[in-house]
Each structure stands twice: as structure tokens, then as C-alpha cells.
Structure 1
């Protein structure tokens, strides 16, 4: 049916509104309870021109059973047929409303309660549900008016015309509120979406400003910042080891096989580095084919093992793009020591790297392994 056609994201919307649906259904129990207490209080303390039997059975017990049955039915729909829960809620709220109106139609203002199901529909921002609820009020009023003589006795000709007009006017007002609310909600969603997109763009820009696009490692500027921070921590007693890795014969690779292959080599080397470092370590592309590592929370032997694993892994790879040749790296490694400035530490590691390149390449030089 066109009337019950559901939006494509209905399950997601329903899931987001489920807690409010449960609260609404629980509120029906509260309405029934308050009305029952009010009826009982009026019978006990005010003049009620009916017998006790008629009151307790027809005015109290039967309406409570009927209204409770409708609420239980709505609970069942919520669990078993959630796609129809909004219409079930509208039917139940209409039923409860008109039972209360019917039991108290001697109170002139009581028909105004028929607007409650209509304005309740506004909360869920559903135009079809709003008009569905409005039609239910109209149909229920006309049915009661035509079928129950006692109900007609309390309504003048003006009431018979004014009540449907009152329902229609309330529906139109509720419709205007709903449209305004949906527009406001749409504007809010657009604002939130724009804010989220801005946050994402800023995060991407921040990442791009800190990382090297080719290797996805930190760039030299970011490395310098992390190096300063790590050195400060090392000055307070934390372990810090600095390693510089340089790809051997990289210029020859570029000249012989082209820069595309050279870029691929840089990418693979960076992947191997990331494979062995821990989450507390910092890896950066420091220069063209040079990489820098800040190794934290490890002793010297563990730091040496880490860079040795990288060197060994790379030296064991055969590159079909290089006619099955290998790509090796030379490494300088040194630990932060008392009395050593960060400039001196970097210069010492750079000297070890130079010695590794000069003494045959594909090796690690440290203070313990000077060639």
C-alpha cells in the first residue's frame, strides 16, 4: 500500500528511535494508571450518579482491561512487527484517548485530548503518521457520535461541527510544526556533516603534513619534533636508540631501472621497517633513500636485534624488477648516553652509517661493532 510505504533507511531510523518508542509505550501505562486513580477518587469523594457495580465494572474494570490489552498488543507489535510500530502506537493512543473522552464526556474540555495522539506523531517527524492519527480521531469521533445516543446528548450541534474542525485545525498546526522541525533538523544535520567533513579534512591535512607521501612514514620535520621530545624523555632516564638506514647503491637503481622502480624499492623498504618496529617506535623517511628510527622502551641488544631483522629481511629479498638482484641497507646505531647532546648523538649515528657504507655496505655499525 502506498500509505504504508517505508523509507529505504527505515530499519536504521527505527533502531535510533527504539528507546523513545519504548518510553512512549510505557507512558501509556502511566496515563491508564493516573486516569484510573482519578476516576476512583472522583467516585469516592465526589458525587457520582451511578451504582457501585456500574462504576467498578463498567467505568473502572472494563476500560482498564481494554486499554491494557491495547498497550500489551502494542508491546507485541514492537517486538514482533517493528515496521508497523508507529501505526500501532497511533491506534493505541487513539483508543486510550477516546476511552477517556467517552468516560468523561460530561466534562466540556475533555474532547481536547484528541489532539494528544496527533501532536505525539510530530515527535517522530512523520507526516503520514500525523495524518493517519488525525483520520483516526475523525473516524472515532464520527463513529461515537452516530452510534451512541448518550454521547450525542452532551454535544450540541455546534460541538458536532466544532470538534472535527478542531481536530483538522490541530492537525494543520502540527503539520506546520513538523515541517519546520524537519527543516531545522535537516539544517542541523548538514551543519554536523559539514563539521565532520572539516574534521576529517583537517585530520587528513595534518597527516599529510607529518608524513611522507611515498613511504607513509613520518617526514623529516615530524621526525625532528619527535626526536626532540624523545631526547627530553631520555634525559630523564628513558631508553632511546637512534638508527639511520640508507639503501645501498640507490642511485644506481634509479639510473639503471628508472625512478618508478626506485619508488617501489622505497615503498617496500618502508613496509619492512614498519613490520618490525613496535607502536612506541618512530620511523621516518629522513632523506631521499635514508630512513631514521627512534627506538624506545628497549635495551641496546633489543634495538640492535630490531635493525638487524630489518637488514636481514631486506638482504634476503629477490627483486624481479632488478633482475632478481637484492636490495641491501647500511645502518648506523647508537644509544642516548649521559652527557651526549641530541646533535652529538645524531652526528655519531651518521658517522657509523658512513663507516658501514665505506666498509662494504649491508651491515650495522655501532660503538660495539666498529669496522
Structure 2
């Protein structure tokens, strides 16, 4: 059910409430006040028949709305006009009762459609004119001033309703513009936030982001979570830049980062730590699984052939260590960095850990 249908169903509920309130108000007036009418005439012509008439109008309107949904506004405002003027006619000795004709006009404001506003207004004028011309009791009760006042009241109320709707539409438009601007700002902030956390060349986290994640990961590890730290460095990268140019070096960095991303899970963290060096935080796995993962990265890099280097391949050296309760995060990082240095010093293209250092 869309919002328009929701409001229309609310109007039908209001019709039943109005009919019920009018029924009990009339009955209470007859019972408790000095009502100048016989009981039979009151119950038949003031209470039962008008209530039955307004109920039938509401039921027919609901049926027409279901059957001809595209005519919903016409049947809705026609029903409200018939109910309103039935109540006005039964109580026209109450001077202020004609103000009820304002309700169908104001009800059109709910839909925020200016073209609808004149429909209930015209219906009120038609109902008033018809009642004035066909019923002598109603006509004789109204003075010339009353007639002019009712017509002016309907027209002025419609103009005010137009102003309300116009202001509402303007506010709604401004709100939509503001929301779009806010959404655009949120997107830009998200992009800027991502750019501030990632390395533009490799699309991995940068060094600052790595340290933030490393601090958090170390806290979790101190509470019992599995954590492994790996440092990875491209072998002879300076020679690659000197021989094939920095553009080729940038391409190699991008390809190595792709291999890293392909082998790591969504819960792991990979960062370009600086230059040709990468840092990896591995979670929720045993040391053997972490070792197998970095080895798959090392082998995957070695298997790549690079047109930028005339079809040659590059290799990486890796240091790996698991978190130990006796270590600080600085000590863990220094230990892994030492293993990386050992891998470089002892032949490159290998992974060094506490198990194979020598």
C-alpha cells in the first residue's frame, strides 16, 4: 500500500468516526437538552435516516474507490461534501456549523496537489447553492450577509489552502535538495575516507591505516584471538626501477598487490607498508595455515611473467611470526622484520619464520 492509498483509507476511517460522533451528539442533545421536536420525528428524520444516508454514501464511495481507483479523489471529496452538508443541514441553526465546509478543502492539502484544491471548493459551492435554492427553510434562515460570508469563506479558505500547499511543496523541494546535497557529501566523505586509508597505487591499506588495525588486532590477540604478522618485500626492486623504469615498477607493485588480495580472506588485513614492502595481518587460522597462505602468495608472485620486464618474473621475501603473550606489538614487528631481513640475506624468494631461521 502506497502513501496515497494509506491516506485515503485514513479518510474512510474519519468518515465513520464523524458519522458516529454526529449520531451520539444528536442523540445526547435530544435526551439531555431542551430539544424542540417530537421523539418520532427526531429519531426518524434527524437521527436514523441521516445516519443511514451518510453510511450508504461512505460504503458506495469505498466500493467506487476499489473499483475505479483512478477516480479516488473525485469520489473521496464528493463523499466528504455530502457528509459535511448533511450535518450542516441538520444543524444550520448553529451559526458556526457552516465552517464544516472547510474540512473537505483542507483534506485536499494532505495530498500536496494544487490542482485538487479547487475540486472540493467547487463541490462546496455547488452543495451550498443547491441547498439554498431548493430548501426554503434553509434559505429563510440565512441572511444576505450569511450567504456572502459562506461563499467568501469557501473561496478564501481555498486560497489559503493553495498558499499552504505551495509553501509545503517549496519546503519539500528545498528538503530534497538538501538531502541530495547531504547524500553527495556523505559519498564524497566516504571516498575521501577510503582514499585517506588506502594506497592509491595498490588499493591496499596504507601504513597509517595498518598501524591502526595493528593496534586493534594486538588488543584482540592479547585476549586470546589468533594473530599472525607477515612482512613481504619485492626482491631487487631498485634494480627493476633502474633497469625498466619507475612506470614498470609501479605496474609490478600493482600486480603483486593483486596476488596478495587474491589469496587473503575478507577478514585479513593487507597494507602497502612503504616502497616495495607489504604488511599482512592474518586472523582466525593456525600458524601452519598462515604459513601456507604466505607461501601461496610467494609462489603466485614468482609464477607471474611481466611484459614490462621482457617476460621475466619477480620474487618476494617474507618474514612471518605469530603473536606471543610475552611480546609487545613493537617486539613482534621487530621480530618479523628481522625474519624478512634473514630471508633477503639468505637467498631471497623464501619465507622465514622462527621454525626455519638459521
For the criterion TM > 0.5, the same-fold answer is yes
1:158 paired residue among 145, 160, 165: 145
**Structure 1 residues 181 and 288: CA distance shift in structure 2, 3 A:** same
For residues 195 and 44 of structure 2, what CA distance do their matches in structure 1 show?
76
> After superposition, where does 1:94-173 map in structure 2 within 5 Å?
94-173=81-160
Aligned to 2:330: 343
1:300 shift after superposition? 1.3
Q: Distance in 1 between matches of 2:227 and 2:341?
A: 21
For residues 113-170 of structure 1, give each alpha carbon's deviation from its aligned partner in whole angstroms, at most 9, with x where no partner exists: 0001112222333222222221221122122222333432322222222211111111
Q: Deviations for 1:205-254, whole angstroms, at most 9, x for unmatched residues?
A: 22221111222221101111222232233334332211112234544555
Contact in 2 for aligned 1:87/1:129 (Cα 8 Å): no
Confirm or deny that 1:34 pairs with 2:45. Answer: no
TM-score between the two structures when normalised by the length of structure 1: 0.82
Q: Which moved more, 1:295-304 or 1:258-267?
A: 258-267
Alignment partners' CA distance in 2, 1:171 and 1:35: 25
Aligned residues: 357
State TM-score, norm by structure 2.
Answer: 0.85
User: How far apart, CA to CA, are the structure 2 residues paired with 1:248 and 1:86?
Assistant: 76
| C-alpha spacing 1:21/1:329, structure 2 compared with 1 (3 Å) | farther
4+ residue segments displaced more than 6 Å:
none
Q: Secondary structure at the match of 2:317?
A: strand
- The question of whether the paired residues in 2 share the 8 Å contact of 1:42 and 1:48 is answered with no
1:49 to 2:37 alignment? yes
Instruction: Say if 2:356 is the partner of 1:369.
Output: yes
Residues 90-117 of structure 1: CA distance to partner in whole angstroms, max 9, x if unpaired?
3332222122112222322211100011
Cα separation, 1, equivalents of 2:57 and 2:301: 73
In structure 1, C-alpha distance between the alignment counterparts of 2:179 and 2:88, rounded to whole Å? 44
CA distance in 1, matches of 2:60, 2:295: 71
- Separation in 2, partners of 1:350, 1:203: 33
Note closer, same or farther for the CA distance 1:213–1:87 as it changes in structure 2 (3 Å cut).
Answer: farther
SS in 1 for 2:164: helix
RMSD (CA atoms)? 3.1
Of 193, 201, 205, the match for 1:214: 201
Q: Of 264, 274, 281, which aligns to 2:261? A: 274
Q: Which residue of 2 aligns with 1:246?
A: 233
Within a 5 Å distance, the mapping from 1:86-97 to structure 2 comes to: 86-97=73-84
Is the alpha carbon distance of 1:98 and 1:321 closer, same or farther for their aligned partners in structure 2, counting shifts above 3 Å? Answer: farther
Offset at residue 198 of structure 1 (A): 3.3
Q: Distance in 2 between matches of 1:352 and 1:85?
A: 78
Moved more, 106-115 or 58-67: 58-67
1:278-317 equivalences under 5 Å are 278-317=265-304
Structure 1's unaligned 5+ residue stretches are 1-13
User: In the alignment, what sits opposite 2:170?
Assistant: 183
CA, structure 1 residues 48+301, in 2 after alignment: closer, same or farther (shift >3 Å)? farther
CA distance in 2, matches of 1:80, 1:270: 63
Give the corresponding residue for 1:60: 47
Q: SS where residue 108 of structure 2 aligns?
A: helix
Change (3 A) 1:38 1:340: same
SS at match of 2:274: coil
Instruction: Give the direction of change, closer, same or farther, for the CA distance of 1:78–1:299 in structure 2 (3 Å limit).
Output: farther
Q: Cα gap change, 1:164/1:217 in structure 2, threshold over 3 Å: closer, same or farther?
A: same
